[in-house]
Amino acid sequence: MRFARILAACALILVCRASVGQELPGPGAVYSMPAPPTSPGSSPESSPGSLPYANLPMPTGQPIGPYGAVNPYAVPPGNGPGQGVPPTGAVNAMPSEQIPQVEYVTPKIIDPKPEEPPPKIWEGSFEFGLDGTEGNSQNANVHLGFKLKRKTKSDTISSELAYHRNSNNSTETANAGLQEARAEHTFGDTPWTCFIHDTLDYDEFSAYHARISLDTGIGYQFIKNDATLLIGRFGGGASKNFQGPKTDFVPEMVFGLEGEYKLSKKQKLTSSVEYRPEIGDFTNWRVVTKAGWEILLDEDMHLSLKLGLLDRYDSNSGTKRPNDLDYTATILWSF
């Protein structure tokens, strides 16, 4: 049975070869393509079917196939029929200058830009100082301070308090405090501002005992950058003493100057002076001067050493001294 199948397959092969009428090209054979029929009066060379590379010999001993096959027609440019045969082993490929060059670009990984935190509009500080003695004499001095500020692009609201109390041999020798609040508005990108300001001045050992003041006016920023601030103010208002020679409301003019300067990342100087003459009687006037030097001790804990000075002068002090000077050294915690 198997032998019969083999005979049938051989017979089929012979019939196919006979029907084709030609054998497969062997090594060294010349491969030619039949020329298409030509129209009367036309030459074979001008016929569309004529091939310039016909009748080229097949490369000896080289495989013929679509993958990795030798191209028998890869004749150098300008060679026509009979003008040369490509060398054995010529690879079917496009000229290098015709191959499109593809540049590989390494993709860049772009990290998303982190969102910037909202601007800080609130800041504040708390300061505390204490010193004293015990023994033949007993002294105790306490100083407290607090400051809070809210600052936006066009508005600044601030409030601060300074209080100190001293005693000697259980006898109180000083008990005073100064509270201030200010709201200030900046007109767009101009250096001009307007403000409203109030103070509450308390001193148990002064002629006035307690005084309240309220004023308003305009300001001008002479210098404003990341390291320096210098602003001048001018306005008017009134004050009232609760004790002393005058207890009525007194109209006053206000001239002020305030500055801040950052010596370095860890040091800052602050100062302000305010002159308040009485309208109608410039012989009665008051001056309040403040200065401070802050030195950062611990950045992580927000702790600083502050050296402060507060001077209050009142020309209408009656039988009391017109000048009171307080100087302090405190530990300041900011937030």
Q: How many domains, in total, are found in the chain?
A: 1
Residue 42 lies in a domain: no
Gyration radius from the chain CA atoms: 52
Give the chain's end-to-end CA distance (angstroms, integer): 104
- In this predicted model, what pLDDT tens digit does every residue of 74-132 receive, in sequence order? 445 544 444 444 555 444 555 556 666 666 667 666 666 777 778 889 999 999 998 88
> Is 98 part of a structural domain of the chain?
no
Asked if residue 176 belongs to a domain, the reply is yes
Tens digits of per-residue pLDDT, 60-89?
Answer: 444 444 444 444 444 455 444 444 445 554
For the stretch 163-174, pLDDT in tens is 999 998 888 988
The span from the CA of 49 to the CA of 164, in Å, is 115
Does residue 274 lie in a domain region? yes
Q: Tell whether 59 is covered by a domain.
A: no
Domain that holds residue 311: 122-334
Amino acid at 131: D
Question: Which of 106-110, 131-135, 137-141 is the least confident region?
Answer: 106-110
Q: What is the CATH number of the domain that holds 182?
A: 2.40.160.40
- Is there a domain that residue 23 lies in? no
How far lies 192's CA from each of 170, 229, 261, in Å? 51, 14, 20
Q: Which pLDDT band, with edges at 50, 70 and 90, does 54 fall under?
A: very low
| 165 located within any domain | yes
Interatomic CA distance for residues 117 and 56, integer angstroms: 79
- Mean pLDDT for 288-301 is 96
- How confident is residue 225, by pLDDT bands cut at 50, 70 and 90? very high
Q: Are strands 281-298 and 30-31 parallel, antiparallel or unpaired?
A: unpaired
Q: Look up the pTM and report it.
A: 0.63
Within-domain flag for 173: yes
The pLDDT of residue 80 is: 47
Residues 6 or more apart in contact with residue 145 via CB below 8 angstroms: 125, 126, 127, 128, 160, 161, 162, 163, 308, 330, 332
